[in-house]
Amino acid sequence: MRISRDYRTLAREENGTLVWFWIGKHDEYIRRIRHQDNQKLSLKIILMLTIGNLNIPDFPLLLAPMEDVSDPPFRAVCKENGADLMYTEFISSEALIRDAAQSVAKLDIFEAEKPIGIQIFGHNIEVMRESVEITERVQPNIIDINYGCPVKKVTCKGAGAGILQDIPKMVKMTAEMVKATELPVTVKTRLGWDDNTKYIVEVAERLQDVGIRAIAIHGRTRRQMYKGEADWTLIGKIKDNPRMNIPVFGNGDVDSPQKASQMRQQYGVDGIMIGRAAIGYPWIFNEIKHYFATGKLLPPPSIDERIAVFRKHLDFSIEWKGLKLGLLEMRRHYTNYFKSIPHVKPFRYRLVTCDSYDGVLGIVEELRKHAYQYTERTDQFAYSPSPN
């Protein structure tokens, strides 16, 4: 393997094909390819995107940080189904420096799920800086700052989206965190505090200037919480800003390959972050990738596939959290795992009230037979984003 510093490529030969991992802007890569026209070797180019010292496939699909959802079991099934970069749920910096067991446990990351970002939040700059040092010890690929959480008990202290009411502090906190680590620091935030303070275009540039290596933006204000439709217009404006050179990831309401494609084309983002649509439906990542590559939709997963992935998720969840909590926290995933199967409601009710492992498996087996009644082809339950 050779590394060319000039062109920022990594190249290796695989069975007579020169495989190039291109790390840089696309136009540079096209120019470089022209230089190579006379070369006899066949070339396979893999475009890469850079976040600080991290290189990941171009146009990555990111699993959003989600409290009580984006834990190791869920991340494992998302990774297997195409997520390129994942984040932990947010972790309180105050709790980290107090060494609170529940928060420290959220730092647990596995080699197989890398690249991974650990997300932290807080209102005190010194505490945030210290928590960067603690986080660094578990060697994530990225440290992400949460400036987007809209929940009152977080924002009232000036943490999460609360800091959108004090942009100078947001910039200062970010600068201090960048200085505290060699790891790439990224930010996830919203458009602004409310309709009158949607300063995200300027904010993104200021955060870039103090050293963040990527930014993800949820196209809502804090006031909107999760209501209304996400508006990506300002995310597109950030991409139009010629001073911006870090990756900009769009987030909000992407729940199908077609929507992902529309947002990619319309707003020119560098990747897409997906949250709710992945809950109980980790297939969304590969479905989007397939659609980008071929323009065609993959058939939805069969009932057998759904049950297989569900079981993997459930087993890891129990192994990770213990029987009681593992079962309890799987409940939020049931709806989507078994979405669009006709007359599924009574099964769902039984699943969310069942508190034994064997009981859950029994209900799922009944559900399998129930689904078979409707069709011999078990792949016919098309996914629809609206719950039935």
Residues that bind ligand FMN (CB under 6 A): 64-67, 69, 89-90, 119, 146, 148-149, 188, 218, 251-254, 274-277
Does the active-site annotation cover 149? Answer: yes
Q: Provide the 8-state DSSP code for 171.
A: H
Report the SS3 class of residue 254: coil
Nearer to ligand FMN, 272 or 360 (CB): 272
CA distance 190 to 188: 7
- In sequence order, what DSSP letters do the residues of 107-159 get, joined into one string? T---GGG-SEEEEEE-S-HHHHHHHHHHHHTT--SEEEEEE----HHHHTTT-
Beta 271-274 vs 248-251: how paired, if at all? parallel
Nearer to ligand FMN, 9 or 250 (CB): 250
Q: Is the dihedral of CA 277, 75, 265, 145 positive or negative?
A: positive
CB of 272 to ligand FMN, least distance (A): 9
User: Hey, what are 86's tokens?
Assistant: 């994942």
User: Hey, what are 345's tokens?
Assistant: 């409601």
User: In this structure, what are the phi and psi dihedrals at residue 343, rounded to the nearest 5 degrees?
Assistant: 50, 45
CB of 188 to ligand FMN, least distance (A): 5
Catalytic residue among 78, 149, 156, 354: 149
CB of 4 to ligand FMN, least distance (A): 37
Which helix (H) or strand (E) covers residue 2, if one does? strand 2-4
Nearer to ligand FMN, 230 or 364 (CB): 230
Contact 160, 150 (CB under 8 A): yes
- In sequence order, what DSSP letters do the residues of 147-205 get, joined into one string? E----HHHHTTT-GGGGGG-HHHHHHHHHHHHHT-SSPEEEEEES-SSGGG--HHHHHH
Contact 45, 20 (CB under 8 A): yes
Q: Is the dihedral of CA 281, 282, 283, 287 positive or negative?
A: positive
When CB distances to ligand FMN are compared, the closest residue is: 275
Nearer to ligand FMN, 188 or 289 (CB): 188
Nearer to ligand FMN, 84 or 253 (CB): 253
CB of 242 to ligand FMN, least distance (A): 27
Nearer to ligand FMN, 274 or 344 (CB): 274
% helix, strand, coil for the chain, step of 5 = 45, 20, 35
CB of 299 to ligand FMN, least distance (A): 23
CB of 335 to ligand FMN, least distance (A): 13
Q: Which residues are annotated as catalytic?
A: 149
